[in-house]
Chain A
Amino acid sequence: MARIDLADLAHSYTGADADPASFALKPTSMTWRQGGAYALLGPSGCGKTTLLNIISGIVRPSRGKVLFDGKDVMALTTQQRNIAQVFQFPVIYDTMTVGENLAFPLKNRGLPRAEIEARVREIAGLLDLTPHLARKASRLTADAKQKISLGRGLVRADVAAVLFDEPLTVIDPGLKWELRSKLKVLHRTLDLTMIYVTHDQTEALTFADTVVVMHDGSVVQTGTPQELFVRPAHTFVGYFIGSPGMNVLPAEVNGQQARVAGHTISLLRNYDGLPPGARVEIGIRPEFVRMAAASPELISAEIERIDDLGRSRFAWLRVGNLRMAAQVPNGSAIPNGRAGLIFEPAQIHVYADSRRVEGTA
């Protein structure tokens, strides 16, 4: 149970004096509040596992500090930091029963037998492992084994935080849902700080109250799932979250007007202060692009194909040589061949060098 602060943390696997651009984790500072459910979201190789391993003490950072409740823990081992971690692949102790596996972290810490028993029963109950307690762990299926790994992470009542490193990778899709909701329940029941690393946006958005999106070694945005969707701070967030991702179109922005593909769109805010020489783009999510009959006042798009995802349909469009997507509202007819596009003004974001610029009113 602890608040975790990262102070100017950076790591390079090739040594501290490597080129800063090659760092696996670029200088990062942030605070994880006690009892929060966090997700570290990003594609493979973005540094999320590195960050997790630094927090747990498996990796020593090249620079910076980790603080638990304000106390520097850099000199402490994984064990002394009192962290629980669940790995991508189930780690179980083959020769032990399920119950012995769950009891292992407590036994190593010399807890009284009665307390161990009670705690193991509680966790086994929460994870539906009670009927298997006396079984050999090595004989169970992959997802039951991963449940044991989860259980070993959760069994200690006093852990500073529980870290999950893509724990559902080996689990069947159907069971993923079940385990994920189970984790959410556990989070509420046990009041533990949980940090969940994943590259699956659905997992991240359903599990966490706060999602930390990482890209190329740095944190690009921290926020609630809602914030990430409505106000992506970086074009990468817009693109990575949402399916299909946000449309990012190169544009010329002058004051309250943006010029895209030869058309002028008026914006709600004023963007006079854009840094000179920056690469300027506007971003709009497919959900906020409306298609109307083609007309000279609207951006003209060629419809390439329609994807029917069951609950919604998306049109893939070509505007000049740009490609973008738009949601087709249920029940509305699809214009044939060409369409005019209307961007919802409140949902247009302006990006300078991939970072979102907040306009002035």
Chain B
Amino acid sequence: MEKIPNQKAWLLVLPVFALVAFSAVIPLMTVVNYSVQDTFGNNKFFWNGVGWYQELLDPTTELGGRFFASLWRNLAFSAIVLSIEIPLGIVVALAMPREGWGVAFSLVVLALPLLIPWNVVGTIWQIFGRSDIGLLGWTLNRVGFDYNYVANPLDAWLTIIVMDVWHWSSLVALLCYAGLKSIPEAYYQAASIDGASRWAVFKAIQLPKMRHVLVIAALLRFMDSFMIYTEPFVVTGGGPGNSTTFISIELVKLALGQFDLGKAAAMSMVYMLIIIIVCWVFFTVMTNAGQDRTAAGGEP
């Protein structure tokens, strides 16, 4: 067949180009622009090359030290909440009723924390944990624990982790529940005929069928916890000291507190790259893990 040259099709993608340009490309390029310049105010900018990046990635400098400290803090936080929320979500999903009025009830109860604005979640826990008037903090102190998240870094961490688990385990549970619901009844009947134990049913049927939603849940939870800002900002404000200063909080301090636009822009770029790379690696590994295992069992 003869191919008809027709360039009009470009016009049809133009709106998308315009939209993406305004929503992503132009803002991003502005950041890139800032990250390679320096300013002493008066809206005058000077070329600084990769100076900010060099400083940022060198832990011995002040900027680099702050960046790496908050990066490790943030990675630790993500690792901890993921390792709690994923298993907890699976357990909750398994324990949920499969039919009857209990389904609607537990779905609503689980969805509640997800519907609360992040700022409000922070405020709730900020008050809840206060040792003078908060129910949790006051009770813990009465029982004999010396709990004070304003003064003690460990208490601050515990508060923020418990808050995140409270806030987001529901999401994992709901996703897992959706995965579980898609398993046909015949699988359970077959498993009971095959004499499978509860554990064997979980390992042979439920976990494999939940794998895809678990990948999504883990990705969502990683990105979200790695970008966390509002809740710790409201509860601890990054303290005590710098103990709960995560990257985003550090970034806001730099950009809005000190007005160091160049440093903040460079940190933003690196921050974004880390998120993209981690997600890409994670997603590829998780999807390839399934592929490899099937390929390994291929034609002998």
User: Are A and B subunits of one complex?
Assistant: yes
Chain B 203-229 against A: per-residue CB contact (8 Å), 1 yes, 0 no? 011001100000000000000000000
Inter-chain contact A85/B193, CB cutoff 8 Å: yes
Q: Which of B194, B197, B297 contacts A135 (CB 8 A)?
A: B297
Say yes or no: A108-B186 contact (C-beta < 8 A), given A78-B193, A93-B205, A136-B294. Answer: no
Inter-chain contact A79/B195, CB cutoff 8 Å: yes
Inter-chain contact B293/A136, CB cutoff 8 Å: yes
Cα A77 to Cα B188 with chains together (Å) = 13
Inter-chain contact A91/B187, CB cutoff 8 Å: yes
Chain B 259-300 against A: per-residue CB contact (8 Å), 1 yes, 0 no? 000000000000000000000000000000000011011111
Residues of B within 8 A of A316 (CB): none
Q: How far apart are A352's CB and chain B's nearest CB, in angstroms?
A: 42
Q: Which residue of A lies closest to B299 (CB)?
A: A135
Q: Which residue of A lies closest to B204 (CB)?
A: A93
Using C-beta atoms within 8 Å of the partner chain, give the interface range for chain B. Answer: 20 to 34
Q: How far apart are B113's CB and chain A's nearest CB, in angstroms?
A: 32
Q: Main SS of the interface on chain B?
A: helix
Cα A109 to Cα B195 with chains together (Å) = 7
- Count of A interface residues, CB-CB < 8 Å: 29
Inter-chain contact A104/B196, CB cutoff 8 Å: yes
Residue B192 is within 8 A (CB to CB) of chain A in the complex: yes
Q: How far apart are B213's CB and chain A's nearest CB, in angstroms?
A: 15
Inter-chain contact B192/A89, CB cutoff 8 Å: no
Inter-chain contact A85/B190, CB cutoff 8 Å: yes
Cα A83 to Cα B195 with chains together (Å) = 10
B-binding segment of A17-25, A64-72, A94-102, A273-281: A94-102
Q: How far apart are B56's CB and chain A's nearest CB, in angstroms?
A: 44
Q: Which residue of A lies closest to B297 (CB)?
A: A136
Residue A105 is within 8 A (CB to CB) of chain B in the complex: yes
Inter-chain contact B297/A77, CB cutoff 8 Å: no
Residue A58 is within 8 A (CB to CB) of chain B in the complex: yes
Residues of B within 8 A of A138 (CB): 294
Q: Which of B184, B192, B195, B208 contacts A95 (CB 8 A)?
A: B208
Residues of A within 8 A of B187 (CB): 91
Q: Which of B186, B195, B297 contacts A89 (CB 8 A)?
A: B186
Inter-chain contact B192/A79, CB cutoff 8 Å: yes
Residue B116 is within 8 A (CB to CB) of chain A in the complex: no
Cα A58 to Cα B193 with chains together (Å) = 9
Q: Which residue of A lies closest to B205 (CB)?
A: A93
Say yes or no: A134-B195 contact (C-beta < 8 A), given A91-B187, A139-B294. Answer: no
Q: How far apart are B14's CB and chain A's nearest CB, in angstroms?
A: 44
Say yes or no: A108-B197 contact (C-beta < 8 A), given A89-B186, A139-B298. Answer: yes
Residues of A within 8 A of B195 (CB): 79, 105, 108-109
- Among residues 225 to 267 in chain B, which have CB atoms less than 8 Å away from a CB atom of chain A? none
Residue A210 is within 8 A (CB to CB) of chain B in the complex: no
Chain A 128-141 against B: per-residue CB contact (8 Å), 1 yes, 0 no? 00010011101100
Q: How far apart are B45's CB and chain A's nearest CB, in angstroms?
A: 57
Inter-chain contact B298/A85, CB cutoff 8 Å: no
Residues of A within 8 A of B298 (CB): 135-136, 139
Residue B182 is within 8 A (CB to CB) of chain A in the complex: no
Residue A215 is within 8 A (CB to CB) of chain B in the complex: no
Residue A239 is within 8 A (CB to CB) of chain B in the complex: no
Residue A149 is within 8 A (CB to CB) of chain B in the complex: yes
Q: How far apart are A120's CB and chain B's nearest CB, in angstroms?
A: 13
Inter-chain contact B204/A84, CB cutoff 8 Å: no
Residue A314 is within 8 A (CB to CB) of chain B in the complex: no
Inter-chain contact B193/A83, CB cutoff 8 Å: yes
Q: How far apart are A150's CB and chain B's nearest CB, in angstroms?
A: 12
Q: Which residue of A lies closest to B187 (CB)?
A: A91
Residue B200 is within 8 A (CB to CB) of chain A in the complex: yes
Residue A152 is within 8 A (CB to CB) of chain B in the complex: yes
Inter-chain contact B186/A91, CB cutoff 8 Å: yes
Residue B189 is within 8 A (CB to CB) of chain A in the complex: yes
Known: A79-B192, A91-B190, A136-B298. 14 other contacts (CB 8 A): A87-B190, A93-B208, A104-B194, A108-B194, A108-B195, A108-B200, A135-B299, A136-B294, A136-B297, A138-B294, A139-B294, A139-B297, A149-B190, A152-B194
Q: Which residues of B contact A (CB under 8 A)?
A: 184, 186-187, 189-190, 192-197, 200, 204-205, 208-209, 293-294, 296-300
Give 13 CB contacts A-B under 8 Å. Answer: A56-B193, A85-B189, A89-B184, A89-B186, A94-B208, A97-B297, A104-B196, A134-B300, A135-B298, A135-B299, A136-B296, A136-B298, A139-B294
